[in-house]
């Protein structure tokens, strides 16, 4: 038993000792959560929001949008934030940055990377860089670091960076934390973790008691939506309206067929002697534009106020001399020749490789005479193909020939923050919503219905509930194309032509897997079609897009979504005969035509404008 556990046991024995006669015990905690669930026996709450508004603690801002392409770029931005805190914003104290990992192993790796980065950035030895970093975990090898936390706020103390684990139980009294970096989503993916991590950085130094400092949370921008919801709930900022299936007497629930999938490796073509240099026949490699210093923006959002601000960073790119890249490739070819008995290094000398690289730079009007990390990787891949006999790639195939049923009753409760109603979101509801919903949702729905400050588009009540043929208590939309589509579904002339429909949740109900290529990188993803419409034994599956869904990188991804979804539903139609599935991509420009085909019962052959553009 550890000393802390022994002390806790002794304390519990004291509290429960009958001779002292304690009648009540009150516990104080700043993290009243088990995962995402709030304690049930709380008798009084002074929320984090109350603390921020009373200026007892720091305010918080986090990353809403960021364009960092790799870990090095993120480190540069985190470093610039740290230096600004140190030299400009909070120079009266010694600001601390905390980086939070998901476990001890990840924390040790993160610490090594940080020390290496600081050594290169500040042009100091790794030994001196390590003096600025303190790793704090529950591992035995780090236990001597925990007492050092007591003095990290001291100006004479060299420690400026702390790496830790999200679930670290030791309490900290460090007040100079002005930046927190959750290095993986798992370090910041529940109310408990957020409350714990934020708790490390919310204390205010005595010097700044009269003002309200801000702690920056430098999260990955792709987590910003989930982090915003969790942070808002921890701060008790945002009320939520929930949607879920309810028992309407018309019973609008229906079955859907689904198939489980798995990934298999399928061998592609072999590279013969004649085409092994195919990528290099043109005399250059297709590089992307590059520069030594690239300006990047990161947008931050401040909690409670919702104010957003952009900060500009000058990101230094790692650049390599042409000769160094050419030598690296030549050496790789030479080693391969030694192992395989080939003669690639004789055919491709350092000089010949250098000319290829120089021509590649010339093609993009390069002014640096150097090769960026991204273009270096492209060069390695281009020459790598000459020694590859074959390659494999993952292909999606059905795991089972037997499709299975899921019912719309299986949709789990999802929610929408009511704050989004002031932007572009909408709640569609009817009398059933007030009769069959949960008590809290009914109460909130009534409040929202009476809130005259909301935009007119925020609340749409169905006067005739028989035109609202969905098994859900309410339907929530997040943007205008979805809202317009639902308005078409609930028009009486269209509602008469269908039996039931659902707006599917974004995750967790009916998912379709797809793969696509973003630049040079293969990607995999899942998407949940937006709507399922039942017309007798026919199921229309609708994915809603805006009118520009075929453009740019998003267009490339949408083409693959369309392809894989059509293949999925074609397979379903072959494997069972009970239902017939029709998958459609729709955008607002084709709504009127779609609803006309719905009324005319000619929807089977409809190809929308956006679908035609994507296929073309």
Per-residue pLDDT of 588-598, as tens digits, reads 999 999 999 99
Burial category of 242 from C-beta neighbours within 10 Å (exposed 0-12, middle 13-18, buried 19 and up): middle
pLDDT digits (tens, 9 = 90+) for 304-324: 777 888 888 988 888 999 999
Q: Which two tokens mark 566? A: 């059509």
pLDDT at 526: 87
- Indicate the SS3 state at residue 278: helix
Q: Which of the two residues, 146 and 325, has the higher pLDDT score?
A: 325
Burial category of 101 from C-beta neighbours within 10 Å (exposed 0-12, middle 13-18, buried 19 and up): buried
d(CA 89, CA 95): 9
Q: Which two tokens mark 601? A: 């019962």
pLDDT at 6: 76
d(CA 524, CA 513): 7
Closest-CA residue to 36 (of 413, 411, 472, 306): 413
pLDDT at 256: 97
Using the predicted structure, report yes or no on whether residue 586 has a pLDDT greater than 70: yes
Using the predicted structure, report yes or no on whether residue 19 has a pLDDT greater than 70: yes
d(CA 409, CA 71): 43
- Alpha helix segments (H runs only) across 122-250: 126-130, 191-201, 224-234
pLDDT at 143: 85
pLDDT at 276: 47
Instruction: State whether the Cα torsion 229-309-110-31 is positive or negative.
Output: negative
Helix, strand, coil percent content, the chain, rounded in steps of 5 = 40, 25, 35
This prediction has a pTM of 0.56
SS3 per-residue string spanning 349-365: CHHHHHHHHHHHHHHCC
Average the pLDDT over 454-469 and give the result: 92
Please state, for a pLDDT cut of 70, what percent of the chain lies above it.
83
pLDDT digits (tens, 9 = 90+) for 523-579: 778 899 999 999 999 999 999 998 888 777 778 889 999 999 999 999 999 999 999
**Residue listed under structure tokens 């914003």:** 89
Burial category of 16 from C-beta neighbours within 10 Å (exposed 0-12, middle 13-18, buried 19 and up): exposed
Q: Which two tokens mark 440? A: 């809290």
Least confident stretch, 183-192, 349-358, 434-443, 605-614 = 183-192
Give the pLDDT band (50/70/90) at residue 162: very high
- Write out the residue limits of the CATH 3.40.50.300 domain(s) in the chain: 48-237
Residues 579-594: b if buried by 16+ CB within 10 A, e if exposed: bbbbbbbbbbebbeeb
Q: Which two tokens mark 468? A: 């609202």
CB-based contacts of 24, cutoff 8 Å, min separation 6: none
Using the predicted structure, report yes or no on whether residue 452 has a pLDDT greater than 80: yes
Give the pLDDT band (50/70/90) at residue 24: confident
Please, what is the average pLDDT of the chain? 84
Give the pLDDT band (50/70/90) at residue 269: very low
Please state, for a pLDDT cut of 90, what percent of the chain lies above it.
45
Contact call for residues 344 and 336 (beta carbons, < 8 A): yes
CA atoms in the 13 A half-sphere facing the CB of 432: 25
Q: What is the CATH number of domain 48-237?
A: 3.40.50.300
Using the predicted structure, report yes or no on whether residue 236 has a pLDDT greater than 60: no
Residues 287/288/290/295 CA torsion (nearest 10 deg): -170
Q: Give ∠ CA 42-43-44 in degrees, rounded to 5.
A: 100
CB-based contacts of 231, cutoff 8 Å, min separation 6: 60, 62, 194, 198, 303
Element (H, E) at 380: helix 373-384
d(CA 424, CA 401): 42
Q: Which of the two residues, 47 and 284, has the higher pLDDT score?
A: 284
Q: Which of the two residues, 224 and 503, has the higher pLDDT score?
A: 503
pLDDT at 274: 36
Contact call for residues 139 and 129 (beta carbons, < 8 A): no
- Indicate the SS3 state at residue 581: strand
């Amino acid at each position: 038993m550890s000393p802390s556990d022994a002390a806790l046991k002794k304390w519990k024995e004291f509290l429960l000792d009958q001779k002292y006669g304690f009648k009540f015990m009150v516990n104080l905690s700043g993290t009243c959560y088990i995962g995402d669930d709030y304690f049930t026996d709380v008798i009084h709450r002074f929320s984090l929001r109350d603390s921020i508004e009373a200026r007892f603690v720091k305010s918080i801002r986090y990353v809403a949008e960021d364009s960092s392409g790799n870990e090095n770029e993120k480190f540069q931005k985190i470093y610039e934030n740290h230096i600004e805190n140190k030299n400009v914003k909070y120079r009266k104290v010694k600001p601390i940055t905390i980086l939070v990992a998901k476990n001890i192993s990840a924390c040790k790796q993160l610490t090594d990377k940080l020390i290496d980065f600081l050594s290169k950035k500040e042009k100091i030895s790794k030994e001196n860089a390590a003096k600025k970093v303190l790793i704090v975990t529950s591992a035995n090898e780090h236990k001597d670091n925990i007492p050092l936390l007591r003095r990290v706020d001291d100006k004479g103390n060299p420690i400026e960076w702390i790496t830790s684990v999200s679930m670290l139980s030791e309490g900290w009294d460090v007040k100079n934390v002005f930046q927190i970096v959750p290095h993986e989503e798992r370090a910041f993916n529940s109310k408990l973790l957020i409350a714990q991590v934020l708790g490390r950085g919310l204390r205010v130094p005595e010097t700044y008691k009269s003002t309200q400092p801000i702690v920056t949370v430098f999260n990955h921008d792709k987590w910003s939506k989930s982090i915003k919801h969790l942070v808002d709930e921890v701060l008790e900022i945002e009320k939520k309206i929930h949607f879920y299936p309810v028992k309407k007497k018309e019973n609008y629930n229906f079955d859907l067929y689904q198939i489980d999938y798995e990934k298999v490796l399928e061998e592609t073509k072999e590279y013969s002697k004649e085409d092994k240099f195919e990528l290099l026949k043109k005399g250059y490699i297709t590089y992307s534009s590059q520069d030594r210093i690239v300006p990047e923006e990161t947008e931050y959002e401040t909690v409670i106020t919702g104010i957003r601000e952009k900060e500009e960073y000058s990101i230094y790119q790692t650049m390599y001399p042409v000769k160094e890249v050419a030598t690296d490739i030549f050496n790789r070819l030479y080693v391969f020749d030694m192992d395989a008995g080939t003669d690639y290094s004789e055919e491709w000398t350092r000089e010949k490789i250098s000319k290829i690289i120089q021509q590649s730079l010339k093609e993009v009007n390069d002014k640096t005479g150097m090769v960026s990390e991204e273009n270096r990787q492209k060069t390695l891949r281009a020459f790598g193909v000459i020694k590859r006999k074959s390659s494999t790639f993952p292909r999606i195939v059905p795991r089972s020939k037997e499709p299975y049923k899921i019912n719309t009753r299986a949709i789990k409760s999802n929610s929408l923050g009511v704050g989004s109603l002031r932007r572009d979101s909408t709640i569609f509801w009817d009398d059933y919503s007030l009769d069959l919903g949960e008590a809290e949702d009914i109460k909130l729905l009534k409040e929202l219905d009476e809130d005259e400050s909301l935009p007119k588009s925020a609340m749409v009540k169905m006067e005739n509930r028989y035109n609202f043929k969905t098994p859900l208590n309410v339907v929530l939309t997040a943007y205008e194309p979805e809202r317009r589509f639902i308005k078409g579904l609930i028009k009486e002339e269209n509602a008469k032509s269908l039996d039931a429909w659902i707006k599917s949740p974004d995750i967790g109900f009916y998912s379709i897997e797809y793969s696509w290529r973003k630049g040079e990188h293969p990607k995999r993803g899942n998407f949940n079609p937006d709507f399922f419409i039942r017309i007798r034994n026919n199921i229309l599956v609708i994915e809603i897009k805006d009118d520009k869904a075929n453009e740019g990188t998003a267009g490339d991804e949408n083409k693959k979504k369309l392809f894989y979804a059509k293949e999925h539903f074609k397979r379903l139609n072959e494997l069972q005969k009970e239902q017939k599935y029709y998958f459609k991509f729709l955008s607002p420009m084709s709504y009127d035509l779609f609803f006309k085909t719905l009324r005319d019962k000619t929807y089977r052959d409809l190809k929308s404008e956006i679908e035609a553009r994507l296929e073309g």
